[in-house]
Amino acid sequence: MFDFSTQATTYLILIVITSFINLICYSYISGMWGFVGYLLYTLITVPLVILWMYNIDCLTTGDCQIWSWVITSLTLISVLTTTILLVAFAVNPSLGTTVPVSTTPTTPPLPSTPITTSLPTTATTTAAVTPTATTA
């Protein structure tokens, strides 16, 4: 069918089996949206699976001069970026923080006047009501 190594074919078979199992689980857990979401995820990751199959095939069969330089270049970029960031943070530690470091306390000071918790009392008075007669 395809001219892939046994390892690359095994990888493809395992990916297909686990994808179907995951599709069923996502459909069961999230309903129709889980099914649609996992199908979209699968469509996005298919190129990565094909690329990884090519990588496995190159590792097992050999004779992949260009691909080995691509992997070497990607690894070199990652290593150089990490080294540059670590050196920059070591030279200037404030680069790693977004908020300037402060030595003042972050909690507000306690008020100097005591807080009273009792409610004020009110006195109620009743005045005597006298009826008044009005004549017309």
- Give residue limits of the domains in the chain: 1-62, 64-96
Nearest to 46 by CA among 12, 4, 3, 1: 12
Tens of pLDDT, residue by residue over 6-32, are 888 888 889 889 888 888 888 888 888
Backbone angles phi, psi at 33, to 5 degrees: -70, -30
pTM confidence score: 0.48
Tokens of 79: 């290593």
Tokens of 91: 């030279």
Residue 36 corresponds to which amino acid? Answer: V
Give the mean pLDDT of 46-55: 86
- Tell me which of 43 and 110 has the higher pLDDT: 43
Nearest to 56 by CA among 105, 117, 11, 97: 11
Handedness of CA 42, 43, 45, 46 (dihedral sign): positive
Backbone angles phi, psi at 117, to 5 degrees: -110, -5
Tens of pLDDT, residue by residue over 62-109, are 778 888 888 888 888 988 888 888 888 788 877 766 655 566 666 766
- pLDDT for position 98: 62
- pLDDT for position 102: 63
Neighbours of 53 (CB within 10 A): 19
User: 48 pLDDT band (50/70/90 cuts)?
Assistant: confident
Instruction: Please state, rounded to an integer, the average pLDDT across all residues of the chain.
Output: 79
- Helical (H) or strand (E) element with 80: helix 65-91
